[in-house]
Structure 1
């Protein structure tokens, strides 16, 4: 078993019910943020390889934890997201940029 991995809150309880003894600690702020960033990468890789809805939910859960940790306001984030969409568009039209003549700040 790997050491020092971020797990869902109820995992130690589940391990205990199986008759095993989990050894845990509560992460410091710095450790938690670094581990959350790594966890996001891990979950994205899992979804990339599986395409499964459950793995996509894990990505959303990590993003929610990051949002809470940074004390971001979800309403304000949505306003900023909408503003960016109005200014630069979204990805919904599936536009693929194949080439362009000059390097610009948009890349």
Structure 2
């Protein structure tokens, strides 16, 4: 008698992943998320993909960046923003606070003692 084994994922996946799973002879159980579930699922997926990028080998980085881009694109659309709005918001933030080109790492900030207290 053959036993089956189930792995529970509980995560957002790309649209064609169930097809890929079933092409391997496995059974995928999926559901469509409600509107209220989508943004939290996308933000969790963004964290997952960022962690995968952090751990990726140099050869795998492009694929991981592509995954992050796909999640950000969907999140942008879901939240009702355009790519142009995101680019403009990034430009404003860069003008106000800078970018990351200087590679600055903040170690600590010291607050002076309050005078007279």
Normalised TM-score (structure 1): 0.81
Normalised TM-score (structure 2): 0.75
Structure showing greater radius of gyration is 2
Aligned residue pair count = 103
* Residue 83 of structure 2 is aligned to residue 74 of structure 1: yes
Runs of 4+ in 1 over 4 A off after TM superposition: 98-101
Cross-structure match for 1:55: 64
CA distance in 1, matches of 2:66, 2:45: 13
Cross-structure match for 2:45: 39
CA-to-aligned-CA distance 1:19-59 (integer Å, 9 cap, x gap)? 22222110001222211111111111111112522122211
Cross-structure match for 1:10: 16
Structure 1: which 5+ runs fail to align?
none
